[in-house]
């Protein structure tokens, strides 16, 4: 199971507005790639294009290719629902189904895919996913309590458990810790480092320290001005981006001169 992603000449539109221009990048399997840059430069838009969530917005479209292991996710024969199963997503605000139990929240994606599973398989999957999301120990005695009974940090790990329960190959995370307290943030960062053993991870973060802590590669996006498209300025090993970036804009951004 490889999960290499190759993005080539990608333009991303909202109707006639070109939001992200001409991105090419390669993402290695089982690595963490962080996307940083000032607000509005298209990081979330780009992230959502990696599992065709972007198209959910009316009028939204892309040009170019996003290939996973050589297969273009935007190819005519590709089912976007299947893509989203393969490429999971975790959002900024934890969004468990509030009235559903913790266990049913974990199973929600699997049930949505109309997969029939036996009670014992379901119980196994709940345990495996919660162990995988570093939440099992905290909730194993209250799996039938509502998802909303958990703290914010636990809810976010529940959402990660829900995402991994459908066995995706890639996990996209859009500022997954920005709504959390520092302790919960560290728990999510530790979890990302563990998940890297099994998944290819792409994370948008406005927190540069977080990018430096969790990622192997960092891509810096920027925008020339309002109404202009966002662009990928450079992508490199995280240590290089934060010490000796090639572009002056990157240097200015990471040293806090703007953004
Ligand atoms: P970032 O994640 O870097 O803050 P976004 O991807 O959210 O940037 O936004 C990039 C550009 O796309 C912005 O100009 C934003 O206003 C625009 N945009 C984002 N979402 C939508 C949408 N649903 N419809 C139209 N324009 C959008």
pLDDT in tens, 35-70: 999 999 999 999 999 999 999 999 999 999 999 999
Confidence of residue 257 (pLDDT cuts 50, 70, 90): confident
127's CB contacts (< 8 A; 6+ apart) are 136, 140
pLDDT band of 12, cuts 50, 70, 90: very high
Candidates 12, 45, 174, 206: which one to mutate for ligand 1, based on the most atoms within 8 Å of Cβ? 45
CA of 202 to the centre of ligand 1 (A): 18
Strands 217-223 and 230-237: antiparallel
Tokens at 30, concatenated = 């089982």
Give 173 Cα–ligand 1 centroid separation in angstroms.
16
19 lines ligand 1 (CB under 6 A): yes
Q: Which residue is listed with tokens 């599973």? A: 117
Q: How far is the CA of 40 from the centre of ligand 1 (A)?
A: 6
14 CB within 6 A, ligand 1: yes
Residue 8: how many other CB atoms lie within 10 Å: 14
Is the minimum distance from the CB of 42 to ligand 1 under 6 angstroms? yes
C-alpha span between 220 and 254 (Å, rounded): 9
Give the mean model confidence (pLDDT) for residues 70-88.
94
* Cα–Cα distance measured from residue 109 to residue 90, given in angstroms and rounded to the nearest whole number: 12
User: Model's pTM, two decimal places?
Assistant: 0.95
Query: In the predicted model, what is the mean pLDDT of residues 121-137?
Result: 96
- State the pLDDT at residue 258: 85
- Helices assigned H by DSSP within the chain: 43-49, 80-86, 102-112, 119-132, 136-139, 152-165, 182-195, 208-214, 238-243, 248-254
51 or 2: which carries more pLDDT confidence? 51
Choose the CATH number for 5-254 among 3.40.30.10, 3.40.640.10, 3.60.21.10, 3.40.50.300.
3.40.50.300
Separation of CA 42 and ligand 1 centre (Å): 6
Nearest to 91 by CA among 159, 43, 184: 159
């Amino acid at each position: 199971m490889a999960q290499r992603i190759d993005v080539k000449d990608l333009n991303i539109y909202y109707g006639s507005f070109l939001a992200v221009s001409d991105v090419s990048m390669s993402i290695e399997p089982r690595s963490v790639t962080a996307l940083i840059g000032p607000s509005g430069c298209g990081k979330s838009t780009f992230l959502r294009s990696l599992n065709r969530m972007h198209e959910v917005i009316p009028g939204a479209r892309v040009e170019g290719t996003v290939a996973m292991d050589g297969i273009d996710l935007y190819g005519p024969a590709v089912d976007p629902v299947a893509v989203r199963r393969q490429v999971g997503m975790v959002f900024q605000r934890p969004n468990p189904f509030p009235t559903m139990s913790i266990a049913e929240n974990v199973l929600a994606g699997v049930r949505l895919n109309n997969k029939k599973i036996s009670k014992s398989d379901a119980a196994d999957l709940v345990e495996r996913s919660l162990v995988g999301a570093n939440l099992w120990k905290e909730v194993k005695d209250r799996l039938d309590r509502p998802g909303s009974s958990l703290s914010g940090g636990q809810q976010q790990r529940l959402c990660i458990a829900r995402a991994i329960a459908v066995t995706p190959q890639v996990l996209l995370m859009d500022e997954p810790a920005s709504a959390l307290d520092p302790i919960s943030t560290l728990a999510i960062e530790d979890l990302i480092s563990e998940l890297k053993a099994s998944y290819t991870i792409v994370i948008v973060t406005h927190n540069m320290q977080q990018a430096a802590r969790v990622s192997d590669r960092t891509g810096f996006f920027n925008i020339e001005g309002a109404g202009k498209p966002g662009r990928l300025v450079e992508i490199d090993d995280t240590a290089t981006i934060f010490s000796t970036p090639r572009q002056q804009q990157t240097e200015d951004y990471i040293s806090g001169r703007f953004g």
